[in-house]
């Protein structure tokens, strides 16, 4: 297929359909710049990038280009927590207050780590503004987190902890890690550096802006139109400034600095502030999908990540997202409303279209990172790539979506 966009990289024989879908995204689905990477059985079988890194200058997307991936960050933080679990630092079924005594206030005394990491703690928003001053002071943030009163009894309902989840994970990790590292530092030391990943939960100053993709937002009208068609209740919720989802998203744009620096540096927002490459995300998930030997993941932990998610008392209906959404131990899990991979898969999508996940049953680590912000709850560009991926390994996966 002819394309005016420059597409670079490589695919292994048998995965040509993924390249065709990647090209088609530029031709038919309004792609600007993007990358897609896939690991299968420990081997990198797809590594593609192309298009424009910065629309204002026309500079191309390069092999080492990185972009902000918003909530795709959650899965990376989940990998860090899983590795900490494998090291015996905490138990998913234990009460959070065992490790963090100050947490035991305002009705949170019995909240388990599983409930907290699975968006079931009722702590989807904070009663104070989430600003840079708060984020940059871990001790002050920990105090605010401990004082927060849950919206309901933990374990009763599910509500997407869009920004707060990572803060709670990081403070829990600080309490149990012998070195008292934040989750961003732990991720860098224990996963990103050993695996040589272009991937940061806290972007450092030394990364030049020339490596960073500038995000291009879609129009407000197209966002609202898509939301009204796909989920009218969610669209109405987003337009209410006091709705759970609007409150939950407080602080979600702190990573976007704009100007020459593109993204904020040394600012750790572990539920939405990761900056990285598709190759880095796919490699991390690929390692976990194949057992995690390189980072010392225990089989017992991987089995827990793959196990069926445990619903809260009132089921998987999410009070923020207004849809049934399966979550478990820091990850999004496959389901009828968010189909991906086999049933044991775990990962996280991000606002605008990015997505990364592990499929241990198929031995796949997958990532897609664009800079043209999409408007769909299930991004058709990502769906096209995943459908081609599973067909390339000879599987018609039960959770594959119909492509729009």
pLDDT (tens digit, 9 = 90+) per residue, 347-368? 999 999 999 999 999 999 999 9
Residue 217 pLDDT more than 90?
A: no
Q: How high is the pLDDT of residue 237?
A: 81
With respect to residue 42, please indicate whether it lies within any of the assigned structural domains. Answer: no
The confidence band for 401, taking pLDDT boundaries of 50, 70 and 90, is very low
pLDDT in tens, 59-80: 999 999 999 999 999 999 999 9
Helix/strand/coil (H/E/C) assignment for every residue in the chain: CCCCCCEEEEECCCCHHHHHHHHHHHHHCCCCEEEEEEEECCEEEEEEEEEEEECCCCEECCCCCEEECCCHHHHHHHHHHHHHHHCCCCCCCCEHHHHCHHHCCCCCCCCEHHHHHCCCCCCCCCCCCCCHHHHCCHHHHHHHHHHCCCCCCCCCCECCCCCHHHHHHHHHHHHHCCCCCCHHHHHHHHHHCCCCCCEECCCCCCCCHHHECCCECCCHHHHHHHHHHHCHHHHHHHCCCCCHHHHHCCCCCCCEEEHHHEECCCCCCCCCCCEECHHHHHHHHHHHHCCCHHHCCCHHHHHHHHCCCCCCCCCCEECCCCCECCEECCEECCECCECCCCCCCEEEECCCCCEEEEECCCCEEEEEEECECCCCCCCHHHHHHHHHHHHHCCCCCCCCCCCC
Q: How high is the pLDDT of residue 1?
A: 36
With respect to residue 95, please indicate whether it lies within any of the assigned structural domains. Answer: yes
Q: How high is the pLDDT of residue 220?
A: 53
| Greater pLDDT, 336 or 36 | 36
pLDDT in tens, 218-275: 655 555 555 555 667 777 787 788 899 999 999 999 999 988 899 999 999 999 999 9
With respect to residue 150, please indicate whether it lies within any of the assigned structural domains. Answer: yes
| 3-17, 42-56, 295-309: least confident range | 3-17
pLDDT in tens, 275-302: 999 999 999 999 999 999 999 999 999 9
User: What's the rounded mean pLDDT across residues 25-36?
Assistant: 96
Residue 210 pLDDT more than 80?
A: yes
The confidence band for 9, taking pLDDT boundaries of 50, 70 and 90, is very high
User: What's the rounded mean pLDDT across residues 208-212?
Assistant: 97
User: What's the rounded mean pLDDT across residues 27-34?
Assistant: 96
Residue 22 pLDDT more than 70?
A: yes
With respect to residue 404, please indicate whether it lies within any of the assigned structural domains. Answer: no
With respect to residue 394, please indicate whether it lies within any of the assigned structural domains. Answer: no
Count of structural domains, the chain: 1
Q: How high is the pLDDT of residue 236?
A: 75
| 8-17, 93-102, 379-388, 393-402: least confident range | 393-402
pLDDT in tens, 299-348: 999 999 999 999 999 999 999 998 899 999 999 999 988 889 999 999 99
Q: How high is the pLDDT of residue 4?
A: 64
Domain that holds residue 348: 66-371
pLDDT in tens, 163-197: 999 999 999 999 999 999 999 999 999 999 999 99
The confidence band for 161, taking pLDDT boundaries of 50, 70 and 90, is very high
- CATH number of the domain enclosing 153: 3.40.710.10
Q: How high is the pLDDT of residue 120?
A: 98
Quick one: what percent of the chain has pLDDT higher than 70?
Answer: 93
pTM listed for this prediction: 0.95
With respect to residue 89, please indicate whether it lies within any of the assigned structural domains. Answer: yes
Q: How high is the pLDDT of residue 218?
A: 64
With respect to residue 51, please indicate whether it lies within any of the assigned structural domains. Answer: no
With respect to residue 251, please indicate whether it lies within any of the assigned structural domains. Answer: yes
User: What's the rounded mean pLDDT across residues 92-117?
Assistant: 98
């Amino acid at each position: 297929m002819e394309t005016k966009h420059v597409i670079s990289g490589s695919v292994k024989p048998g995965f040509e359909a993924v390249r065709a879908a990647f090209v088609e995204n530029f031709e038919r689905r309004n792609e600007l710049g993007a990358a897609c990477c896939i690991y299968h059985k420990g081997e990198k079988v797809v590594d593609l990038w192309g298009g424009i890194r910065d629309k204002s200058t026309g500079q191309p997307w390069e092999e080492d280009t990185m972009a902000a991936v918003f909530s795709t960050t959650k899965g990376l933080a989940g990998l860090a927590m899983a590795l900490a679990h494998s090291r015996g630092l905490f138990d998913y079924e234990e009460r959070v207050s065992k490790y963090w005594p100050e947490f035991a206030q305002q009705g949170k005394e019995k909240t388990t780590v599983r409930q907290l990491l699975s968006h079931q703690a009722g702590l989807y928003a904070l009663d104070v503004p989430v600003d840079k001053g708060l984020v940059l002071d871990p001790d002050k943030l920990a105090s605010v987190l401990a004082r927060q009163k849950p919206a309901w009894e933990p374990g009763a309902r599910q509500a997407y902890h869009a920004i707060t989840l990572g803060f709670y994970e990081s403070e829990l990790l600080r309490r149990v890690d012998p070195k008292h590292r934040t989750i961003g530092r732990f991720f860098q030391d224990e996963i990103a550096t050993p695996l040589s990943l272009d991937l940061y939960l806290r972007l450092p100053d030394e990364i030049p802006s020339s490596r960073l993709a500038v995000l291009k937002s879609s129009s407000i009208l197209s966002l609202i139109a898509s939301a009204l068609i796909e989920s009218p209740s969610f669209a109405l919720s987003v337009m209410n400034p006091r709705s759970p989802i609007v409150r939950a998203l407080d602080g979600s744009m702190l990573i976007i600095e704009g100007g020459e620096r593109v993204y904020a540096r040394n600012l750790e927002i572990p539920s939405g502030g990761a900056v990285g490459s598709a190759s880095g995300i796919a490699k991390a998930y690929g390692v976990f999908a194949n057992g995690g030997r390189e980072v010392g993941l225990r089989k017992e932990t991987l089995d827990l990540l793959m196990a069926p998610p445990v619903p809260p008392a009132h089921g998987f209906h999410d009070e923020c997202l207004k849809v049934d959404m399966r979550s478990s131990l820091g990850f999004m899990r496959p389901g009828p409303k968010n189909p991906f991979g086999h049933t044991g898969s775990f990962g996280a999508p991000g606002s605008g279209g990015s997505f990364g996940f592990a499929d241990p049953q198929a031995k796949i680590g997958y990532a897609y990172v664009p800079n043209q912000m999409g408007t769909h709850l299930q991004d058709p560009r990502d769906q096209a790539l995943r459908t081609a991926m599973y067909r390339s390994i000879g599987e018609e996966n039960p959770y594959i979506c119909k492509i729009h």
